[in-house]
Amino acid sequence: MCGILFSLTDRDHNNQFSTAWDELVPYIKQRGPSSCDEISVDAGSKQLKFLSSVLSLRLPFTKQPIQDSSGDILQFNGELYNPEVENNDTVFFLEKLQHKGVLPTLQALRGEYAFVYYESHTQKIWFARDCIGRRSLLYSCINGQLFITSVPSIGPVENLQEVPGGKVLSYDLNDLNLTSYTWDYGSSSHIQLQYPYSQISPDSSVPYNENEAVVELEQLLRESAGKRLFNIPQMDVASPRISVLFSGGLDCTLLGMFIDDLLAPGETVDLLNVAFENKRVGGGYNTPDRKLGKRSWLELEARSRSKYGRSSKRFRFIEIDVPFDEMMEHRPIVQHLMWPKDSVMDLSIALAFYFASRGQGILYHFDDSLSIQHTKADYTTPSKVLMSGLGADELFGGYTRHTTQLRRDGYESLSSELQLDFNRLHERNLGRDDRVCATWARELRYPFLDEQVVAWAMKCNLRLKVNSDEPDKDTKYILRLIAEKNNLPQVSLEKKRAIQFGARSAKMEVGDSKIKGTDKIQ
């Protein structure tokens, strides 16, 4: 993972981005504490500045920005999972860009990324997020000057906006034009970039074998989790290299299960469970997600010990309690990081992810008899990679409104709703979540948003997603079947609860009860 900061300005005129640059450097460094370097290049009347920080997660360690002998420069934030990547994926990416060109390279890539690439021989600046939009990137292009950053500016930068997922942008230094290349569905010859998956199938009448479907999806999810585990350096077998953002719900518990199946015996996993002091509802930190998290933790650990033995202690539970005053102290930082999202609901979600990803709380483990034991009062997880279940609800129909849509208008309407939800992930969730979590020098990874998983989900019969004949398992039906098959019966029946309500990060002050989630932050 890395932080990206780039500017293209006139050498002989006022640099309108200089203040924003200076303000953002500390935020970029926070994202990548392993190294931070800067390169400046003159191109005619223009000056190009590249600053990258790196969180080293993949050997061999490679500083950024990378500049080669031809003058090309790359800033890369992400992880590539192409099987042909043998060493550092940043070096792999640059070599492919130079040998195949930008668009053909992006067409073949699989992974979570954002980048800035200066192609010296064409005098073009290329920049984009992956086609799903799993990494943050923002830009401003105005008056012949260009500014690109992983993190929003503190002061005003005119026309700063998120780089949209599904688009690749190219800025030509010769004519100062910005060109957009769009990812699209279909296979016609005029399409420049084709999504590696189809749109959601609206046909619910196609025959399917439920048991075969469960086996297929389970294998794809296990492989997806494995890709996101294999390249994390292991410093100490007793020190966890992976954490899970853990509410105790279906999606994150399934991720815990796959990780348990993939890790070597003796390795540990931290389950990060956040709860807020909510002055409006009271009740301390014994929130719905705290209660559910402990129940699901027990079910995960019991399953693990049935495989590895009674003395195995795979999962540790981190109680992350956030006092009201501490939340208020950090709130301005969170509002800055989550921008351009500015609603009450976005803030309540961003607060939960921000404090959960800090990974600081009270550590607990199970003893040999599966009784909870307090281990350490002031603990911070050393793991730099966080697994997130984001995408499961959008792909497999996890929201109550999906069942409402089905009852009201049928499966074809449901397919349109699911497609819309998936298409909006880059705008609604992914950029915001990346920014608030990466500020702690931790990287989010999304097994449910692996391209192969998405491709399978898009073609999956809708009755395997929302099944009105199974009222206890109507949403995310096939994921519940996977949990049931793998000896997680309680988790298989848990209903969706939004994190802001489960952790009680929503409406935290007395008098907030009438505020709507869609209201703008005052």
Which residues line the annotated binding site for ATP? 245, 388-389
Cβ-contact 462, 202 below 8 angstroms: yes
Residue 508: other Cβ atoms inside 10 A? 21
Using alpha carbons only, what angle is made at residue 307 by residues 303 and 309, rounded to the nearest 5 degrees? 100
Give the integer Cα–Cα distance in Å for 340 and 333.
Answer: 13
Sign, CA dihedral 68-70-73-74, equals: negative
The number of C-alpha atoms within 13 Å of 60 and in the hemisphere containing its C-beta is 2
CA-nearest of 112, 157, 121, 119 to 139 is 157
Cβ-contact 256, 245 below 8 angstroms: no
Helical pair 431-438 and 324-338, crossing angle rounded to 10 deg: 130
Cβ-contact 73, 39 below 8 angstroms: yes
Binding residues for L-glutamine: 89
Burial 98-137 (b: 16+ CB within 10 A, else e): beeebeebbbebbbbbbbbbbbbeeebbbbbbbbbbbbbb
Give the integer Cα–Cα distance in Å for 485 and 297.
Answer: 18
Q: Out of 2, 131, 141, 252, pick the active-site residue.
A: 2
Cβ-contact 240, 270 below 8 angstroms: yes
Annotation says 2 is catalytic: yes
Instruction: Enumerate the active-site residues.
Output: 2
